[in-house]
Amino acid sequence: MADTALTTPPTDRTDLPHLPQRSAVRTLLRLWPFVRPVRARLFTAACVAVVASCLSLVIPLVLKWLVDGPVTEGDAGGVWLGGGYLLLLGVAEALLFGLRRWLVARPLAGVEAAMRAALYRHLQRLPVAFHDRWPSGQLLSRGTTDLQMLRMFLTFPLTFLLVNGVTILVGWAVLLAQHWTLGLVLLAPVLPLMALCSVFEAKYGRAARRTQDQLGDLTTVVEESVLGIRVIKGFGRHRSQARAFKELTRALRTSELRKARLLACILGVNTALPEIAIGGALVLGTLQVADGALSTGTLVAFLSTALALRWPVESIGFLLAMSSEAATATERYFEVMDEPAVADEGNGDEGDGDAAERPRGTNGAVGGGGRPAGSDGHDGCDGSPTGGLAFSGVAFRYPDAVPDSPPTLKDVTLHIRPGETVALVGATGSGKTTLTALVPRLYDPTAGRITLDGRDLATIGRDEARSLVAVAFEDPTLFSATAGENVLMGAEHAQEADLRRALEVAQADGFVDALPEGTATQVGEQGLSLSGGQRQRLALARAVVGRPRFLILDDPLSALDVRTEAAVEAALRQVLAGTTALVVAHRPSTVLLADRVALLSDGRIAAVGTHHELLRDNPEYAALMSGEEEGAR
């Protein structure tokens, strides 16, 4: 078998047609809302830097006075005085630049922190469909390297594009005032430099975009390799992963070298043309001094001023390069920020009025079982149910699905009465997990409606919906936190007693207490220090810790051994007696936890009944329960 990489390098996003084509200036102006709170200090720092830079242009004037005066006249005292003036100007310039750095360091670190916090908040509010299609490395690079690049831009290029521009204008004014013919010689390269810089900025911007996207792809591969290290080692795929990594690093190296070539070209031109102009001015000025048309001091001052302008002119290419990279980083940042976040249109006050009067659990969810007042408990097939969890004509298609492909769910109609547990059974790919994801509003149905105790789920705010509904996913995800903290994520205000109860229900108290620090033991990233069954039990404990009104369990016992499964089921029956639950099941033992069973086939509810009824009357269900998957499915 070919030794292929487990990770396919993500598609380069550089030339995607949906990317907005904005100028660098328009793109960077989008940073203004974040910069506005510190604008006073940034403006002050820019003014300080302008004064410091302009002080360097006073030095040539002191040199002119020194050469034409004390040096020519042999005045030693005057020479010492001139040296003191030059030293004072140098110290003042250094102190002012130090003050500028102090003024911008803290506020710009705050700007970076604010942008990172805004990005993180926005990522939490984006729909799950967004995270389904975006590689995690691309998001990570936008929140780290891109924001660091923006802070560097605000610290240095943003200020010095202004400072160097002012310095060049003032310097040329001084040059023209000293000797206008020599000044015109130095002005000769201006137009060619402006044209070249314009071309350079466009090409460098495209190169920077490609490099930063490739860096995001590389981050994705590294992250997936670390998280999937057990799979890589288990299947001996380290060589293929290394090749995939090498290919991406080679592509990134090629892009970086292209940037380096562009930067070398513009820096070479920015250095060569001014140097040629200075050389021409030196020859012309020397001839004029020899003819007596120009004083030696004036020539020294003129050349000193020209040399003082070398850095501002030569740095233009470097500053434009950093600005192009910052514009690309800004564009990448706002690609995420411009994604529409999930809007909570419901205010949570609609629906039956007695919801607020029922007892609540520790996470704010409506607690207790039984039927609410006015519920008739019908199955929802012949009218609108008033209690429990009901699906009415629900259809769903994933946002990124092929346009002509059939929807994942089609006209799903099912009513789970208050306090009832329904097992959801179906073949692989029938849509069970998708249906359970609609209840906590991870996705919204594309047609039909879902109601919780008679309230349309679409009118309930997501925060409230998720306080009413608890979920245990098929793939248990744990975080780099303690075992107790992972469980308590299921209830904001849960106490120690709730934690102990949840661990007992999930039969997790035994192994958790045996950990080195009990519930305070760090479980590590993704909980990989625990077995699959232990992770699954902690995820189950997290789902039940808040005594939720509605409980969604997606095959919660699949990783457990027979003995542990039986113990968990016994404890879970007590929890299910006081909640309305939908349980995805693949094994008869899990199905027996339910009051009724719903068979999901090809995206539709094909049959509803008790386990024994369906086992007797429905061949498809009987085949699933016997472990036989029909070939057509």
State whether 146 and 217 are in the same domain. yes
Q: Which helix (H) or strand (E) holds 176?
A: helix 157-178
Residue 113 lies in a domain: yes
Extended beta strands in 351-444, E state: 389-396, 409-416, 421-426
Instruction: Convert the pLDDT of each residue in 430-441 to its tens digit.
Output: 888 889 989 988
> What's the number of domains the chain is made of?
2
Residue 10 lies in a domain: no
Percentage, residues of the chain above pLDDT 90? 11
Highest mean pLDDT among 237-251, 349-363, 607-621: 607-621
State whether 267 and 402 are in the same domain. no
Q: What is the CATH number of the domain that holds 584?
A: 3.40.50.300
Taking a C-beta distance cutoff of 8 angstroms, is the pair 620, 601 a contact? yes
Residue 527 lies in a domain: no
pLDDT tops 50 at residue 223: yes
pLDDT bin (cut points 50, 70, 90) of residue 31 is very high
State whether 319 and 459 are in the same domain. no
State whether 210 and 95 are in the same domain. yes
State whether 321 and 386 are in the same domain. no
What's residue 343's pLDDT?
A: 63
Q: Give the HSE-up count for residue 614: Cα atoms under 13 Å, Cβ half-sphere.
A: 27
Range of the domain at 106: 34-337
Residues 6 or more apart from 624 whose CB is under 8 A from it? 425, 426, 427, 586, 599
Q: Is 562 exposed, middle or buried (0-12, 13-18, 19+ CB in 10 A)?
A: exposed
- Radius of gyration in angstroms for the set of CA atoms belonging to the chain, rounded to a whole number: 35
Residue 274 lies in a domain: yes
Instruction: Convert the pLDDT of each residue in 493-524 to its tens digit.
Output: 888 888 899 888 888 888 888 888 888 888 87
State whether 319 and 387 are in the same domain. no
State whether 292 and 388 are in the same domain. no
Residue 170 lies in a domain: yes
Q: What is the CATH number of the domain that holds 66?
A: 1.20.1560.10
> Among the three residues 302, 319, 337, which one is the final residue of a domain in this structure?
337
State whether 416 and 308 are in the same domain. no
pLDDT bin (cut points 50, 70, 90) of residue 385 is low
Partners of 384 in the β-ladder:
none
What's residue 592's pLDDT?
A: 84
pLDDT tops 50 at residue 630: no
State whether 318 and 459 are in the same domain. no
Map residue 570 onto helix, strand or coil.
helix
Instruction: Convert the pLDDT of each residue in 153-163 to its tens digit.
Output: 998 888 888 88
> Among the three residues 303, 337, 371, which one is the final residue of a domain in this structure?
337
| Residue of 392, 436, 390, 387 whose CA lies nearest to 415 | 390
Q: Which helix (H) or strand (E) holds 332?
A: helix 310-337
CB atoms within 10 A of CB 251: 17
Instruction: Convert the pLDDT of each residue in 77-97 to its tens digit.
Output: 878 887 888 888 889 888 988
Mean pLDDT of the chain: 79
Residue whose entry in the numeric block shows the structure tokens 């075992």? 483
Percentage, residues of the chain above pLDDT 70? 87
Structure tokens at 48: 């300080």
> Among the three residues 337, 359, 391, which one is the final residue of a domain in this structure?
337
How far is it, in rounded angstroms, from Cα 88 to Cα 484? Answer: 64
State whether 50 and 150 are in the same domain. yes
Residue 410 lies in a domain: yes
| Residue of 348, 349, 366 whose CA lies nearest to 357 | 366
Q: What is the DSSP-derived secondary structure letter of residue 86?
A: H
State whether 182 and 324 are in the same domain. yes
State whether 331 and 384 are in the same domain. no
pLDDT tops 80 at residue 381: no
Residue 358 lies in a domain: no
Residue 517 lies in a domain: no
How far is it, in rounded angstroms, from Cα 269 to Cα 596? Answer: 79
58-67, 116-125, 388-397: which range is least confident on average? Answer: 58-67
What's residue 391's pLDDT?
A: 93
| Residue of 421, 351, 447, 366 whose CA lies nearest to 576 | 421
More confident residue, 377 or 295: 295
What's residue 368's pLDDT?
A: 34
Find the angle CA(333)-CA(336)-CA(340) to the nearest 5 degrees: 145
